[in-house]
Amino acid sequence: MIGLEEFLKKGQTTISNLILEHYRQIGLSNEEFLLWLQLHRYYESGNHFPDLSQIAQQMNFSQKEIYYLLNQLVEKQCVQIVSLKDQHGMMDDSYDLTPIYQRLSQYLNQQKKSVEMKNEQDKIGQLYQSFEAEFARPLSPMEYQRIGQWLEEDQYQVELIQLALREAVLNQVYSLNYVDRILLSWERKNIRTSSQVKEEQQKRKRQMMQKEEKTTKALPKVSLHNWLEEE
Protein backbone atom coordinates (compact mmCIF):
# COMPACT_ATOMS: atom_id res chain seq x y z
CA MET A 1 0.00 0.00 0.00
CA ILE A 2 1.34 3.44 -0.99
CA GLY A 3 1.73 5.74 2.00
CA LEU A 4 0.97 9.45 2.30
CA GLU A 5 4.65 10.32 1.97
CA GLU A 6 4.76 8.74 -1.49
CA PHE A 7 1.77 10.82 -2.60
CA LEU A 8 3.36 14.01 -1.29
CA LYS A 9 6.65 13.27 -3.10
CA LYS A 10 4.84 13.26 -6.42
CA GLY A 11 3.71 16.85 -5.84
CA GLN A 12 0.51 18.51 -6.95
CA THR A 13 -0.75 20.19 -10.10
CA THR A 14 -2.48 23.53 -9.50
CA ILE A 15 -4.66 25.27 -12.07
CA SER A 16 -7.36 27.91 -11.93
CA ASN A 17 -10.89 26.65 -11.38
CA LEU A 18 -11.97 28.99 -14.20
CA ILE A 19 -10.23 26.67 -16.68
CA LEU A 20 -11.91 23.61 -15.17
CA GLU A 21 -15.29 25.35 -15.38
CA HIS A 22 -15.00 26.69 -18.94
CA TYR A 23 -12.60 24.54 -20.98
CA ARG A 24 -15.55 23.14 -22.93
CA GLN A 25 -16.91 26.64 -23.65
CA ILE A 26 -13.59 27.71 -25.20
CA GLY A 27 -13.76 24.76 -27.58
CA LEU A 28 -11.64 22.03 -25.97
CA SER A 29 -12.67 18.38 -25.89
CA ASN A 30 -12.10 16.28 -22.78
CA GLU A 31 -9.11 14.55 -24.41
CA GLU A 32 -7.53 17.85 -25.52
CA PHE A 33 -7.91 19.31 -22.06
CA LEU A 34 -6.43 16.18 -20.45
CA LEU A 35 -3.38 16.50 -22.68
CA TRP A 36 -3.07 20.19 -21.71
CA LEU A 37 -3.19 19.11 -18.04
CA GLN A 38 -0.42 16.57 -18.65
CA LEU A 39 1.76 19.21 -20.31
CA HIS A 40 0.99 21.59 -17.42
CA ARG A 41 1.98 18.92 -14.90
CA TYR A 42 5.37 18.44 -16.55
CA TYR A 43 5.84 22.19 -16.93
CA GLU A 44 5.36 22.75 -13.20
CA SER A 45 7.96 20.07 -12.44
CA GLY A 46 10.49 21.89 -14.65
CA ASN A 47 10.14 19.85 -17.83
CA HIS A 48 8.98 22.34 -20.45
CA PHE A 49 9.15 19.93 -23.41
CA PRO A 50 8.18 16.45 -22.20
CA ASP A 51 8.36 13.27 -24.27
CA LEU A 52 4.96 12.84 -25.91
CA SER A 53 5.43 9.06 -26.16
CA GLN A 54 5.55 8.93 -22.37
CA ILE A 55 2.35 10.99 -22.14
CA ALA A 56 0.74 8.68 -24.70
CA GLN A 57 1.42 5.70 -22.44
CA GLN A 58 0.02 7.52 -19.40
CA MET A 59 -3.18 8.44 -21.27
CA ASN A 60 -3.39 5.03 -22.98
CA PHE A 61 -3.39 6.74 -26.39
CA SER A 62 -1.31 6.07 -29.46
CA GLN A 63 1.42 8.59 -30.33
CA LYS A 64 -0.54 9.46 -33.46
CA GLU A 65 -3.57 10.37 -31.35
CA ILE A 66 -1.42 12.48 -29.00
CA TYR A 67 0.15 14.38 -31.91
CA TYR A 68 -3.33 15.01 -33.29
CA LEU A 69 -4.55 16.36 -29.94
CA LEU A 70 -1.46 18.56 -29.63
CA ASN A 71 -2.09 19.93 -33.13
CA GLN A 72 -5.67 20.73 -32.08
CA LEU A 73 -4.43 22.59 -28.99
CA VAL A 74 -2.11 24.66 -31.18
CA GLU A 75 -4.85 25.39 -33.76
CA LYS A 76 -7.27 26.42 -31.00
CA GLN A 77 -4.62 28.80 -29.63
CA CYS A 78 -4.34 27.08 -26.26
CA VAL A 79 -0.73 25.92 -26.66
CA GLN A 80 2.21 27.41 -28.53
CA ILE A 81 5.53 25.75 -29.35
CA VAL A 82 8.40 28.22 -28.86
CA SER A 83 12.19 28.05 -29.07
CA LEU A 84 14.21 29.65 -26.27
CA LYS A 85 17.93 29.97 -25.57
CA ASP A 86 19.24 28.10 -22.55
CA GLN A 87 22.03 29.31 -20.28
CA HIS A 88 24.61 27.97 -22.73
CA GLY A 89 23.11 29.81 -25.70
CA MET A 90 21.59 26.66 -27.21
CA MET A 91 18.06 26.75 -28.62
CA ASP A 92 15.55 24.59 -26.75
CA ASP A 93 11.94 23.90 -27.70
CA SER A 94 9.27 24.55 -25.07
CA TYR A 95 5.51 24.37 -24.76
CA ASP A 96 3.98 27.72 -23.89
CA LEU A 97 0.70 26.95 -22.10
CA THR A 98 -0.33 30.55 -21.38
CA PRO A 99 -2.40 31.12 -24.57
CA ILE A 100 -5.26 29.18 -22.95
CA TYR A 101 -5.53 31.95 -20.34
CA GLN A 102 -5.79 34.60 -23.06
CA ARG A 103 -8.48 32.59 -24.85
CA LEU A 104 -10.37 32.08 -21.59
CA SER A 105 -10.10 35.80 -20.78
CA GLN A 106 -11.58 36.71 -24.19
CA TYR A 107 -14.46 34.28 -23.64
CA LEU A 108 -15.23 35.60 -20.13
CA ASN A 109 -15.10 39.22 -21.35
CA GLN A 110 -17.53 38.38 -24.16
CA GLN A 111 -19.85 36.71 -21.67
CA LYS A 112 -19.68 39.73 -19.39
CA LYS A 113 -20.50 42.07 -22.27
CA SER A 114 -23.42 39.86 -23.31
CA VAL A 115 -24.84 39.98 -19.78
CA GLU A 116 -24.36 43.75 -19.60
CA MET A 117 -26.08 44.22 -22.97
CA LYS A 118 -29.01 42.05 -21.88
CA ASN A 119 -29.34 43.97 -18.61
CA GLU A 120 -29.25 47.26 -20.52
CA GLN A 121 -31.95 46.05 -22.93
CA ASP A 122 -34.10 44.96 -19.98
CA LYS A 123 -33.68 48.40 -18.38
CA ILE A 124 -34.68 50.10 -21.64
CA GLY A 125 -37.77 47.89 -21.90
CA GLN A 126 -38.73 48.81 -18.34
CA LEU A 127 -38.22 52.49 -19.19
CA TYR A 128 -40.81 52.36 -22.00
CA GLN A 129 -43.17 50.48 -19.68
CA SER A 130 -42.72 53.19 -17.01
CA PHE A 131 -43.78 55.91 -19.46
CA GLU A 132 -46.86 53.94 -20.51
CA ALA A 133 -47.77 53.21 -16.88
CA GLU A 134 -47.43 56.87 -15.81
CA PHE A 135 -49.17 58.24 -18.91
CA ALA A 136 -51.88 55.52 -18.54
CA ARG A 137 -51.81 54.82 -22.28
CA PRO A 138 -49.65 53.17 -24.93
CA LEU A 139 -46.85 55.29 -26.38
CA SER A 140 -47.15 56.43 -29.98
CA PRO A 141 -44.44 55.54 -32.57
CA MET A 142 -43.20 59.14 -32.42
CA GLU A 143 -42.89 58.94 -28.63
CA TYR A 144 -40.96 55.67 -28.91
CA GLN A 145 -38.64 57.38 -31.39
CA ARG A 146 -38.21 60.39 -29.09
CA ILE A 147 -37.17 58.23 -26.13
CA GLY A 148 -34.86 56.26 -28.44
CA GLN A 149 -33.16 59.53 -29.46
CA TRP A 150 -32.54 60.38 -25.80
CA LEU A 151 -30.80 57.04 -25.36
CA GLU A 152 -28.88 56.77 -28.64
CA GLU A 153 -28.20 60.32 -29.82
CA ASP A 154 -28.17 62.29 -26.57
CA GLN A 155 -26.59 59.39 -24.66
CA TYR A 156 -28.78 59.95 -21.59
CA GLN A 157 -28.61 57.17 -19.02
CA VAL A 158 -31.77 55.13 -18.47
CA GLU A 159 -31.75 56.09 -14.77
CA LEU A 160 -31.54 59.80 -15.70
CA ILE A 161 -34.60 59.56 -17.96
CA GLN A 162 -36.46 57.67 -15.22
CA LEU A 163 -35.73 60.51 -12.78
CA ALA A 164 -36.85 63.13 -15.32
CA LEU A 165 -40.12 61.20 -15.77
CA ARG A 166 -40.55 61.12 -11.99
CA GLU A 167 -40.04 64.90 -11.81
CA ALA A 168 -42.69 65.38 -14.51
CA VAL A 169 -45.17 63.10 -12.72
CA LEU A 170 -44.61 64.91 -9.40
CA ASN A 171 -45.52 68.14 -11.22
CA GLN A 172 -48.52 66.35 -12.79
CA VAL A 173 -47.28 67.05 -16.32
CA TYR A 174 -47.59 63.98 -18.54
CA SER A 175 -45.71 65.16 -21.60
CA LEU A 176 -42.49 64.10 -23.31
CA ASN A 177 -41.80 67.75 -24.09
CA TYR A 178 -41.77 68.51 -20.37
CA VAL A 179 -39.46 65.55 -19.69
CA ASP A 180 -37.23 66.80 -22.51
CA ARG A 181 -37.02 70.26 -20.92
CA ILE A 182 -36.00 68.67 -17.62
CA LEU A 183 -33.25 66.68 -19.34
CA LEU A 184 -32.02 69.78 -21.19
CA SER A 185 -32.00 71.75 -17.94
CA TRP A 186 -29.86 69.08 -16.30
CA GLU A 187 -27.56 68.96 -19.33
CA ARG A 188 -26.94 72.72 -19.13
CA LYS A 189 -25.89 72.19 -15.51
CA ASN A 190 -23.64 69.32 -16.63
CA ILE A 191 -25.80 66.81 -14.77
CA ARG A 192 -25.42 63.41 -16.45
CA THR A 193 -25.89 60.84 -13.69
CA SER A 194 -28.59 59.94 -11.18
CA SER A 195 -26.26 60.78 -8.26
CA GLN A 196 -25.75 64.29 -9.66
CA VAL A 197 -29.53 64.71 -9.92
CA LYS A 198 -29.91 63.77 -6.26
CA GLU A 199 -27.21 66.28 -5.30
CA GLU A 200 -28.98 69.00 -7.30
CA GLN A 201 -32.31 68.15 -5.65
CA GLN A 202 -30.75 68.37 -2.18
CA LYS A 203 -29.12 71.68 -3.10
CA ARG A 204 -32.46 73.07 -4.32
CA LYS A 205 -34.17 71.84 -1.15
CA ARG A 206 -31.59 73.64 1.04
CA GLN A 207 -32.05 76.85 -0.96
CA MET A 208 -35.84 76.69 -0.51
CA MET A 209 -35.47 76.12 3.23
CA GLN A 210 -33.12 79.09 3.52
CA LYS A 211 -35.57 81.25 1.57
CA GLU A 212 -38.42 80.19 3.88
CA GLU A 213 -36.33 81.03 6.95
CA LYS A 214 -35.61 84.53 5.60
CA THR A 215 -39.29 85.08 4.81
CA THR A 216 -40.27 83.98 8.33
CA LYS A 217 -37.75 86.36 9.92
CA ALA A 218 -38.97 89.24 7.78
CA LEU A 219 -42.59 88.94 8.99
CA PRO A 220 -43.58 91.57 11.66
CA LYS A 221 -44.35 90.32 15.15
CA VAL A 222 -48.11 90.35 15.89
CA SER A 223 -49.37 89.99 19.46
CA LEU A 224 -52.02 87.30 19.56
CA HIS A 225 -55.24 87.98 21.42
CA ASN A 226 -56.02 85.35 24.07
CA TRP A 227 -59.76 84.90 23.88
CA LEU A 228 -59.76 82.73 27.02
CA GLU A 229 -58.73 85.68 29.22
CA GLU A 230 -61.48 87.94 27.97
CA GLU A 231 -63.67 89.35 30.76
Q: What is the largest CA-CA distance in the chain?
A: 121
> If you average pLDDT over every residue of the chain, what do you get?
88
Query: How many Å apart are CA 76 and CA 70, to the nearest integer?
Result: 10
Q: What are 20-51's pLDDT values in tens digits?
A: 999 999 999 999 999 999 999 999 988 999 99
Element (H, E) at 86: none
pLDDT band at 197 (very low <50, low <70, confident <90, very high): confident
- pTM summary value: 0.68
Amino acid at 202: Q
pLDDT of residue 226: 41
pLDDT of residue 7: 66
* CATH code for the part of the protein at 11-97: 1.10.10.10
Q: What is the CATH T-level fold of the domain 114-213, as seen in this structure?
A: Arc Repressor Mutant, subunit A (1.10.10)
Give the DSSP letter of residue 224: P
The reply to whether 11-97 and 114-213 are identical in fold is yes
Give the whole-number percent of the chain exceeding pLDDT 70.
89
Question: Looking at the predicted structure, is the pLDDT value of residue 81 above 90?
Answer: yes
pLDDT band at 196 (very low <50, low <70, confident <90, very high): confident
**Residue 49 near residue 92, CB atoms below 8 Å:** yes
pLDDT of residue 219: 55
pLDDT of residue 14: 87
- Domain residues of the chain, as ranges? 11-97, 114-213
Question: Looking at the predicted structure, is the pLDDT value of residue 194 above 90?
Answer: no
Strands (E), 34-86: 80-85
Query: How many Å apart are CA 131 and CA 168, to the nearest integer?
Result: 11
